[in-house]
């Protein structure tokens, strides 16, 4: 059998939401033996909308996925919950996301959300943003999409 034939016969890992628009993947966490995948999501339509949510799906094997309730929706003081990353820190699972709270869509803030139930009902905690925007003194027109990586006893963030 040729390598091409073998490749075509392998199962493909692919997830599609039941409805709505999906975009950026935010990460996959393994918590209590299950995989949890997070992604940018517009449950209200099939095109992008500034009121982005975070969708969530779960899997036991990384092949078969079940979509569950929206993980993160904009709070009353947010336009949208844009891209970021899903990680586990010393307190447990946390979503680090771009909080868009005003009309300057390029200049987001970084907020954290944690589950109130095991891996469900995510809420912003702390209520304040952990980074209100880019550092002063730089000509930055966009600040969003935090990607977190562990380093030593702490974390490093790359923000676009």
User: Which residues are catalytic, by number?
Assistant: 24
Strand order in the sheet with 120-124: 80-89, 92-100, 109-117, 120-124
Neighbours of 20 (CB within 10 A): 17
CA-nearest of 71, 43, 47, 45 to 57 is: 71
Rounded Cα–Cα distance for residues 105 and 80 (Å): 9
Dihedral sign for Cα atoms in the order 96, 101, 106, 108: negative
């Amino acid at each position: 059998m040729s390598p091409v034939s073998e490749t075509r016969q392998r199962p493909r890992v692919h997830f599609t939401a039941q409805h709505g628009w999906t975009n950026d993947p935010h990460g996959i966490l393994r918590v209590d033996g299950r995989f949890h995948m997070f992604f940018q999501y517009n449950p209200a339509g099939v095109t992008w909308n500034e009121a982005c949510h975070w969708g969530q799906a779960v899997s036991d094997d990384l092949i078969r996925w079940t979509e569950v309730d929206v993980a993160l929706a904009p709070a009353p003081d947010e336009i949208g919950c844009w891209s970021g990353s899903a990680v586990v820190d010393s307190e447990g699972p946390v979503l680090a996301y771009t909080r868009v709270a005003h009309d300057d869509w390029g200049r987001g803030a970084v907020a954290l959300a944690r589950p109130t139930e095991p891996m469900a009902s995510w809420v912003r905690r702390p209520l304040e943003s952990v980074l209100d925007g880019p550092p002063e003194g730089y000509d930055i027109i966009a600040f969003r999409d935090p990607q977190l990586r562990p380093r030593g006893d702490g974390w490093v963030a790359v923000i676009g």
